[in-house]
């Protein structure tokens, strides 16, 4: 038996009729509107063990490969380290970052739209994308986590209250 009051039912109907989609406002905003992470950069000739310690110290899952004040040369992620160092039992102290980094990664500018960033992450399977200036110098790193948090601000009920599996809905 439904014990809701009549005014509650009217409210529910009004909420159900509200549009629920990504508006132009949400996805057309530039990336600069997001609180993306400051870049952690390591030189290409650094040992992988140095990069791992830097990543652990900063609490991040990837670092950019660039010389001081220079353009992004590559990106080194946890995935690279697991697949190319750990899985192959390679010594990270004897291996240079340049040997296992992903060279010439896809980059975005702070003026690119959030929608374009989402598209690039989905198509490429990227969890992190470097944000660069006009000279490809690193400004930051955009992570999937940052994008999800941004979307959760606009759609908290949809993003934060999902059941653990579709069958649970």
Report pLDDT digits (tens) over 47-102. Answer: 999 999 999 999 999 999 998 889 999 999 999 999 999 999 999 999 999 999 99
Asked if residue 127 lies in contact with residue 143, where contact means CB atoms within 8 angstroms, the answer is yes
Residue 17 has a pLDDT of 44
pTM for this model (two decimals):
0.77
When mean pLDDT is compared across 46-50, 100-104, 161-165, the lowest value belongs to: 161-165
Mean pLDDT, to the nearest integer, of 147-152?
86
| CA 163 to each of CA 4, 19, 118, 146: distance values in angstroms, whole numbers, following the listed order | 24, 21, 23, 21
Environment class of 105 (CB within 10 Å of its CB; exposed 0-12, middle 13-18, buried 19+) = buried
pLDDT at 95: 98
- Which DSSP helix (H) or strand (E) runs through 7? helix 6-17
CA nearest neighbour of 126 among 65, 58, 77? 77
Q: Distance (Å, rounded) from C-alpha 120 to C-alpha 106?
A: 8
Give me the residue label for tokens 């609180």: 35
Q: List the one residue out of 103, 32, 93 whose CA is nearest residue 64.
A: 103
């Amino acid at each position: 038996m439904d014990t809701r009051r009549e005014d509650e039912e009217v409210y529910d109907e009004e909420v159900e009729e509200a549009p629920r989609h990504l508006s132009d406002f949400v996805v057309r905003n530039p990336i600069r509107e997001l609180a993306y992470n400051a870049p952690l950069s390591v030189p290409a000739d650094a040992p992988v063990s140095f990069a791992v310690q830097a990543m652990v110290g900063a609490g991040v899952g990837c670092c950019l490969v660039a010389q001081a004040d220079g353009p992004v040369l590559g990106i080194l992620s946890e995935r690279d380290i697991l697949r190319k160092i750990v899985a192959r039992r390679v010594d990270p102290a004897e291996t240079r970052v340049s040997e296992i980094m992903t060279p010439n990664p896809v980059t975005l500018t702070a003026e690119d739209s959030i929608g374009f960033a989402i598209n690039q992450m989905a198509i490429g399977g990227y969890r992190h994308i470097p944000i660069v200036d006009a000279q490809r110098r690193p400004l930051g790193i955009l992570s999937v986590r940052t994008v999800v948090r941004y979307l959760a601000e606009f759609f908290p009920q949809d993003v934060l209250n999902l059941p653990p599996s579709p069958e649970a809905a």
